[in-house]
Structure 1
Amino acid sequence: MKQLSTKELIQIQQKLVPDLLQEMKRRYRILQQINLTQPIGRRSLAQSLTTTERILRGEVEFLKDQGLILTETIGMRLTDAGRQLLHSLDEVIRELEGFRELEERLSKLLDIPRVLIVPGDSQQDPLVKREMGYLAARLIKEQLTEGVLAVTGGTTIAAVAEMMPKAQASRPVEVLPARGGVGENVEIQANTIAALFAGKLGGTYRMLHVPDNLSEEAYHTLLEEPHTQEYLRRIHNTRMLVHGIGQAITMAKRRGASSEILALLEREQAMGEALGYYFDANGRIVYAMNTIGLRMNDLERVQTIIAVAGGADKAAAILSVARGSRQDVLVTDEACTEAILAHV
């Protein structure tokens, strides 16, 4: 007898028991919302799900009786069983809502082996960014058991670290900032994010106390420093890289680029930025910052490269970076996906 695929099974269920699928989706959304905002009170949960406390009360009691959530004074949170069920349901819901097909289309278009898309727009709804962080964090937890994890700064990668579940035991993982970044807000500096990742993974970390954008003289001077040499020795053993993608001009201004550099980026029509490299629409590198850390020629030794970026206005930036550099996984949102598909 032929074994049914997940897609075929869902199609049969939609015809025979459509109410069951709707109920499953509703309870999945409740579990997902708790996971993204825990601990959360029932009133806040009802508001975020645009329902009433009265309607939600029965669902919460059911999930509690099933051992999927805990209700505490400070609010509700998922149990280990709840997290495992949520994880198991992810692929089913993605298939049910058509995201698997959308992911395959974007994967082929960008030539990125694996693409994960979350519903919504991360620039309009902070919870969408947290859901992107949750998917990326789950990948890291599953695939990285040892070795060096390199991470960049920024609000999106900070969300990945925040959504990383805390390891039950220590791991032989060392987390390093992918490159210098002193000068940004402390909360989104790569050093801060590396420390948060290490705490969640049960690993260790090292900081890199150098600015993101260096003069030629400062760059070569720092390269000779023993601390820098030790950092470079370790960063060259990176097993996994997790990074964001930014709009070229926006990122250059944020890093205090000179008027000459800004004029160059405008003239060369730079679209996207990653790891201090600026790409045009065809993926050509039009400018590279003097920065201590991972360089493009180091990436061929990295086992897994995960890019996390969303929002409709990141479409051109993601296209340019994908065309000019290797990416193994892209975690993005629905708004960005639609903008990319409309862009080409």
Structure 2
Amino acid sequence: MREILDIQKQLLPDLMDTMKKRYTVLHHILVSGMIGRRTLAGMLNTTERVLRAEVDFLKEQGLVDVDASGIRISMAGRELLERIEPLVKDLFGLTELEEQLRVHFGLKQVVIVPGDSDASPQVKKELGRAGASVLRKLVTENDVVAVTGGSTMAEVANHLTAAPAMKGIWFVPARGGLGESLEMQANTIASTMAKKTGARYRLLHVPDHLGEEAYQSLIQDTTISEIIQFIRQARMVIHGMGDAMVMARRRKVDRETTESLQREGALAEAFGYYFDRSGRMLHRMPTIGLRLEDIHGMDTVIGVAGGRSKGEAIASVLKYGHEDVLVTDEAAAQEIIRTISSS
């Protein structure tokens, strides 16, 4: 297939450009669910007149449905996108990038979506869709799956759908709440994932950031202790990754600790742990939930994060060496490669 693609690129470059353009239109419609022509034109940075011609073509092919409410993808359109995904990855040059990252970091799988989450909400939605797809393929009956909070994990939850294989599993929060908006908290995301898939869930109603005295008191509570033990049975965790200083502010880390993290070169945060450029763990927040040793013992660790601004942070967590699967976007992947090349 790749050889044929290379020939087409040389002999029919206009055809490849058209294919890319129509794929991008169709894919934006898929991720949006239902969208108006004007909104879609704005997302694609094109005119409504140019877009109308593309949408009319896709409608004639039976790939989209158009009515007064807007444009939505048809079942035939969904099936086509699934079938051509490997071809599209080659078309966008992502297959080679995926393999480069997989080999360098010793990962089982890397999935890269086109674009930059920092620049486009649609790319973040696609990141969520890709994360949901990986999760669906890897879970097995009666698994306990731990999930962290954050906007990317919320997108993963939004793109999960009911499946018979997922009914017996449990979703649990990897840790307590951040004190941020409710929809971004791990508890909310775990319950949303369960409701979307027909699975079960348990919640952990404790704050994420605790003083040592409060931490020791809470872990001795029988109810909380029982839930923590259940969470630590998780076979799989799906989590986000963030910039160390951004996450320190979100977690309301005290000034002394924040300054210490800066001095030591903290670059990334995941699970409440802070890592430097080389992947060395610098600091652990006293949180209730998963510990690093629990993560080390898991069968599958899935990291989902994107955006050029997070490239270095993602590379830092990958260097720690306990990820199995990475789901990211093109801009972050390119930044990770740049980080590798300059180190």
Of 244-253 and 106-115, deviating more is: 106-115
* Distance across 2 between alignment mates of 1:57 and 1:313: 34
2:226 match: secondary structure: helix
Q: 2:72 aligns with which of 70, 73, 77?
A: 77
Q: 2:193 aligns with which of 193, 197, 201?
A: 197
In the alignment, which residue of structure 1 is the partner of 2:18? Answer: 23
Q: 1:159 aligns with which of 134, 155, 169?
A: 155
Shift of 1:302: 2.0
In the alignment, which residue of structure 2 is the partner of 1:172? Answer: 168
CA contact (8 A) 2:92 2:114 kept: no
Of 246-255 and 233-242, deviating more is: 233-242
* Distance across 2 between alignment mates of 1:161 and 1:60: 29
In the alignment, which residue of structure 2 is the partner of 1:276? Answer: 272
Of 184-193 and 119-128, deviating more is: 119-128
Shift of 1:67: 3.6
Equivalent AA in structure 1 for residue 262 of structure 2: E
In the alignment, which residue of structure 1 is the partner of 2:326? Answer: 330
Residues 293-342 of structure 1 show CA distances to partners (whole Å, capped at 9, x for unaligned) of 11111123322211111222222222221112411111222222222222
Shift of 1:145: 4.1
Equivalent AA in structure 2 for residue 234 of structure 1: F
Q: 1:246 aligns with which of 238, 242, 246?
A: 242
In the alignment, which residue of structure 2 is the partner of 1:111? Answer: 106
Residues 249-269 of structure 1 show CA distances to partners (whole Å, capped at 9, x for unaligned) of 221121111122112212222
Is 1:96 the counterpart of 2:91 in the alignment?
yes
Residues 102-146 of structure 1 show CA distances to partners (whole Å, capped at 9, x for unaligned) of 122222333333222223221122112111111111111222243
CA contact (8 A) 2:173 2:204 kept: yes
Q: 2:218 aligns with which of 197, 206, 222?
A: 222
Residues 189-226 of structure 1 show CA distances to partners (whole Å, capped at 9, x for unaligned) of 11111122112222122211111111112112211222
* Distance across 2 between alignment mates of 1:46 and 1:62: 15
Shift of 1:17: 4.7
In the alignment, which residue of structure 2 is the partner of 1:266? Answer: 262
Equivalent AA in structure 1 for residue 74 of structure 2: T
In the alignment, which residue of structure 2 is the partner of 1:42? Answer: 37
CA contact (8 A) 1:177 1:190 kept: yes
1:238 match: secondary structure: coil
Shift of 1:66: 3.9
1:331 match: secondary structure: strand
Q: 1:313 aligns with which of 282, 301, 309?
A: 309
CA contact (8 A) 1:246 1:317 kept: yes
- Change in Cα spacing, 1:60 to 1:316, as seen in structure 2 (3 Å) is closer
Of 260-269 and 72-81, deviating more is: 72-81
Is 1:10 the counterpart of 2:5 in the alignment?
yes
Equivalent AA in structure 1 for residue 130 of structure 2: L
CA contact (8 A) 1:182 1:209 kept: no
- Change in Cα spacing, 1:52 to 1:312, as seen in structure 2 (3 Å) is closer
- Change in Cα spacing, 1:55 to 1:265, as seen in structure 2 (3 Å) is closer
- Change in Cα spacing, 1:54 to 1:168, as seen in structure 2 (3 Å) is farther
Equivalent AA in structure 2 for residue 180 of structure 1: G
* Distance across 2 between alignment mates of 1:47 and 1:283: 40
CA contact (8 A) 2:105 2:321 kept: no
1:290 match: secondary structure: coil
Unpaired stretches in structure 1, ≥5 consecutive residues: 1-5
* Distance across 1 between alignment mates of 2:173 and 2:129: 20
* Distance across 2 between alignment mates of 1:82 and 1:139: 21
Residues 25-58 of structure 1 show CA distances to partners (whole Å, capped at 9, x for unaligned) of 2321121010121210223223322334444334
Equivalent AA in structure 2 for residue 10 of structure 1: L
CA contact (8 A) 1:173 1:201 kept: no
In the alignment, which residue of structure 2 is the partner of 1:3? Answer: none
2:235 match: secondary structure: strand
Shift of 1:168: 5.5
Is 1:295 the counterpart of 2:291 in the alignment?
yes
- Change in Cα spacing, 1:19 to 1:190, as seen in structure 2 (3 Å) is same
CA contact (8 A) 1:38 1:75 kept: no
CA contact (8 A) 2:178 2:207 kept: yes
CA contact (8 A) 2:167 2:199 kept: yes
Equivalent AA in structure 2 for residue 223 of structure 1: I
Shift of 1:286: 1.2
Residues 228-282 of structure 1 show CA distances to partners (whole Å, capped at 9, x for unaligned) of 2222232122232111111112211211111221122122221111101111222
Shift of 1:19: 4.5
Alpha-carbon RMSD: 2.1
Equivalent AA in structure 2 for residue 105 of structure 1: Q
2:268 match: secondary structure: strand
* Distance across 2 between alignment mates of 1:342 and 1:20: 31
In the alignment, which residue of structure 2 is the partner of 1:232? Answer: 228
